């Protein structure tokens, strides 16, 4: 367990995510997902990582087609961490799309990195 610089205690760390910043340009869907390691005692941000998600919608765009985001869901993933295994932290994302022509679809993705590769903030 690391020592928190704010409360000066050895504390467990929790990982949280903020809402994804989703952008749609034509059939291209991009999102920025930020994961943050926080002190459970005082909520001080200790480390972060930012994932860049990019995917193409499976839709043939016509001249008057325009995609919009209906809903998105982000689920944190946490695996490993046992003896001789790196702790891997990441996300699964699912973005529901609706086109002005009536088409509905979804883009999905996932990514993870070793917890030790987070950028330290303090």
- Encoding tokens for residue 5? 């610089």
Judge contact between 97 and 69, C-beta under 8 A: yes
- What pLDDT is attached to residue 104? 94
- The rounded distance, in Å, linking the Cα atoms of 35 and 38 is 10
Tell me which residue range forms the domain holding 51: 13-120
- Residue 8 domain flag: no
7 lies in a domain?
A: no
Read off the tokens for 120: 């330290």
- Let me know if residue 1 belongs to a domain: no
Condensed to tens digits (0 to 9), the pLDDT of residues 66-121 reads 999 988 889 999 888 788 888 899 999 999 999 999 999 999 999 999 988 988 88
Under the phi-then-psi rule, with left for phi > 0, alpha for psi from -120 to 50, and beta for the rest, what region is 43? left
**How many domains in the chain?**
1
């Amino acid at each position: 367990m690391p020592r928190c610089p704010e409360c000066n205690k050895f504390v467990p760390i929790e990982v949280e995510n903020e809402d994804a910043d989703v952008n749609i340009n034509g059939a291209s869907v991009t999102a920025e997902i930020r994961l943050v390691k926080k002190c459970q005692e005082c909520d001080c941000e200790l480390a972060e990582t930012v994932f860049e998600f990019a995917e193409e919608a499976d839709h043939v765009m016509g001249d008057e087609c325009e995609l919009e985001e209906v809903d998105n869901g982000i689920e944190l993933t946490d695996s490993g961490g046992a003896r001789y295994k790196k702790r891997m932290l990441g996300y699964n994302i699912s973005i529901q799309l609706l086109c002005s022509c009536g088409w509905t679809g979804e883009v999905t993705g996932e990514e993870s990195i070793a917890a030790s590769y987070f950028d330290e903030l303090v």
